[in-house]
Amino acid sequence: MVLFKNGYIFCIILLLEMNMDFLFYLSVVMALSSVCEACGSYIEIAGGGSVTISPGSQYKPNVNCIWWLETDAKHFLSAAINYTADQAEGCRDYFILSEGKDGADVLDDWSQNCTDETNYIRDAKAQWLRIQFKADGNSTTAGTFTAEISSIANDSIDSTLISPIRSCRSFEWKCPNKVCMTLSYRCDDYDDCGCDEDGCDEDGCSGLPLGKYTIMLVGGLVGLGVFVGFAIFSSCYEAYLRRKAFMADPEAQAELQRKKAEKKKREAYKKAAKERKARG
């Protein structure tokens, strides 16, 4: 009985220790360094006003910018695009102009056309416009992207239109540029929100600057910890089941007592034999 109790205590201590190690390594993995290199925002434009948006004078590789722009109900938005593409071989930079629910209605998609544009004009059907600019990983020759968005009066616009900018659901991250992003994408080292403001998905994610091989090592240790912890748990659970079955079986208990009695008899016989031999 004492052995069983001591065995259970030992198993519990080992499991607690393995769980602490697992949580430590998991926290290290979750604290991997993330860098927010993005732009984008939500901008309200007064009727008749205008604004110029840009990721910078020379955008960086892998930049991802998403802007939601909105004006009042008696105006529509017009975009004038000036774009100098990255001249590196295999350029895959692009911009997309869209509107409608979540920006689902695409006005122009430049994802297959990495060519320059000068004063390229595109009008939205109503008071909302979504612009996304995405650069590839090339950094040989950086390009430029600017868009001047103007609010133009139009009394014929349907005032009953519903805003395409929706409220985020409970399982989504609400980005400050009105983009809704799945919560699991937060702190994944990629700007899913498409912005670099406070509250974007990579904001506050800086952690330990671990390299690729360190991450692989940590992942291996976590896997090993899980495996060993499961093995210990299985062993302890099996011991528990054996003990439970033994306590519920009177015949097994009687057999154990019989074996103990026989062992005592053998030990007593050996002891008596030694004493007789000593008396000679």
Strand partners for 32: 208
Residue 238 lies in a domain: yes
Buried b (16+ CB within 10 A) or exposed e, 220-256: ebbeebeeebeebeeebeeeeeeeeeeeeeeeeeeee
Least confident of 8-12, 137-141, 189-193, 253-257: 8-12
pLDDT at residue number 204? 79
Q: Considering 123, 150, 185, which residue would you say is the last residue of a domain?
A: 185
- Find the domain containing 42 and state its range: 38-185
| The dihedral sign for the CA sequence 225, 23, 207, 169 | positive
Shared domain for 226 and 111, answered yes or no, is no
pLDDT at residue number 44? 93
pLDDT at residue number 141? 56
Question: Across residues 58-77, what is the average pLDDT?
Answer: 86
Residue 64 lies in a domain: yes
Count of CB atoms situated within 10 Å of the CB of 5: 10
Residue 109 lies in a domain: yes
Kindly tell me if the per-residue pLDDT of 148 is higher than 80: yes
DSSP calls for 164-195: S-PPPPTTEEE-TTS-EEEGGGTTSSS-SS--
Q: Considering 169, 185, 201, which residue would you say is the last residue of a domain?
A: 185
141: domain CATH number is 2.60.120.290
Of the pLDDT bands very low, low, confident and very high (cuts 50, 70, 90), residue 80 is very high
Shared domain for 57 and 17, answered yes or no, is no
Look at 204 and 65; give whichever has higher pLDDT: 65
Kindly tell me if the per-residue pLDDT of 201 is higher than 80: yes
pLDDT at residue number 43? 92
Structure tokens at 199: 């509250």
Using alpha carbons only, give the angle 34, 110, 94 rounded to the nearest 5 degrees.
25
Shared domain for 10 and 62, answered yes or no, is no
Look at 91 and 242; give whichever has higher pLDDT: 242
Shared domain for 8 and 129, answered yes or no, is no
Residue 165 lies in a domain: yes
Kindly tell me if the per-residue pLDDT of 132 is higher than 70: yes
Shared domain for 11 and 89, answered yes or no, is no
Shared domain for 139 and 256, answered yes or no, is no
Kindly tell me if the per-residue pLDDT of 55 is higher than 90: no
Of the pLDDT bands very low, low, confident and very high (cuts 50, 70, 90), residue 243 is confident
| Dist CA 225 CA 22 (whole Å) | 6
Kindly tell me if the per-residue pLDDT of 32 is higher than 50: no
| Dist CA 110 CA 154 (whole Å) | 28
Residue 171 lies in a domain: yes
Closest CA to 233 of 6, 15, 7, 4: 15
Shared domain for 12 and 65, answered yes or no, is no
Residue 170 lies in a domain: yes
Shared domain for 217 and 164, answered yes or no, is no
| Dist CA 85 CA 112 (whole Å) | 12
The segment with the largest mean pLDDT, out of 15-24, 41-50, 54-63, is 41-50
Residue 11 lies in a domain: yes
Kindly tell me if the per-residue pLDDT of 138 is higher than 60: yes
Shared domain for 48 and 136, answered yes or no, is yes
Kindly tell me if the per-residue pLDDT of 49 is higher than 90: yes
Phi, psi for 173 (deg, rounded to 5): -90, 130
The total number of structural domains in the chain stands at: 2
Alpha-carbon torsion, ordered 186, 192, 194, 199, to 10 deg: -10
Task: Kindly state the percentage of the chain with pLDDT values over 70.
Answer: 76
Shared domain for 149 and 254, answered yes or no, is no
Shared domain for 99 and 128, answered yes or no, is yes
Residue 82 lies in a domain: yes
Least confident of 2-16, 155-169, 192-206: 2-16
Kindly tell me if the per-residue pLDDT of 13 is higher than 70: no
Question: Across residues 201-218, what is the average pLDDT?
Answer: 69
Shared domain for 20 and 55, answered yes or no, is no
Hey, what long-range contacts does 167-172 have (CB within 8 A, 24 or more apart)? none
Is residue 278 classed as helix, strand or coil in its secondary structure? Answer: helix
